[in-house]
Amino acid sequence: MLIYTAAGGVGSAAVNLALIAGMKVIGVAGSEPKRRAIVAMGAQHAIGYRSEDVVGRVNEITGDRGVDLILDPIGGNAFARNFAMTAPLGMVISYGRLDGPPDLNFLSSMRAHSAKSPAVRFFTIHSFDDRPDTRAATMRALLDHLADGKIRPLIHDRLPLAEAARAHELLESGAVIGKMLLKP
C-alpha cells in the first residue's frame, strides 16, 4: 500500500490501519524527519517526494509489480502518475485535493496501463451520509482499536484554542508530524 502524506494526521492514521490489516506500507513525505516518523510508525519504506522519483522507487521496492492500493490526498497534475505504480487490479483512492482536482489527463494514463485493469475511487466522508449504521459500526471499530492500543495517534502538539492561528502557521509550514490538537 502506498500512502501519500503518511506523516500527516490522516496519513499516519492510515499507516496504523494498514498495519492492523497486515499490509506492507510505503509512505511518502517531504522531509527526512517525516520519513523517519513514517518508519518509526512501522512502515516498511518511506520515500521522499522532494528528493526521490516516487514512481521509480515504488517500482524498485515492489520489483516492478506495483502496489495494490494507493491513498492519494494530493490530486492535481500528479494524480495520473499513480497508474504507473498500481499492481494488476490495483486501486487508487482519491480523498483530497491538496493540489487541486485531478487533471482529466489521468484517463490517458489509466488507458496506458489498462492491461493492469486499474481502478479509481473518489472518497469523501459524506459517502456514508445515507448509511448511519455503517458509519457508527466503523467508528465503534476504530474506537475499539484506539482503546486497545492498536491505533496510536501521532500528536505533534497540543495548543490552547487561543493559539489557533499559530497552529495553522505550523501546519502550513510543513513542520507538523501527525495531528495538531487545539484545547478549548
Q: How far apart are CA 61 and CA 55, in angstroms?
A: 10
23, pLDDT greater than 90: yes
Residues 117 and 160 in one domain: no
- The beta-strand segments (E) located in the chain are 2-3, 26-29, 45-48, 67-72, 86-94, 119-122, 155-160, 179-183
Residues 30 and 102 in one domain: yes
Residues 82 and 49 in one domain: yes
pLDDT 10s digits, 44-80: 999 999 999 999 999 999 999 999 999 999 999 889 9
Q: Are 40 and 33 in contact (CB under 8 A)?
A: no
Beta bridge partners of 71: 3, 93
pLDDT 10s digits, 26-50: 999 999 999 999 999 999 999 999 9
pLDDT 10s digits, 143-179: 999 999 999 899 999 999 999 999 999 999 999 999 9
Domain range holding 41?
Answer: 2-124+140-153
Residues 90 and 176 in one domain: no
3-class SS of residue 164: helix
**For the chain, what is the domain count?**
2
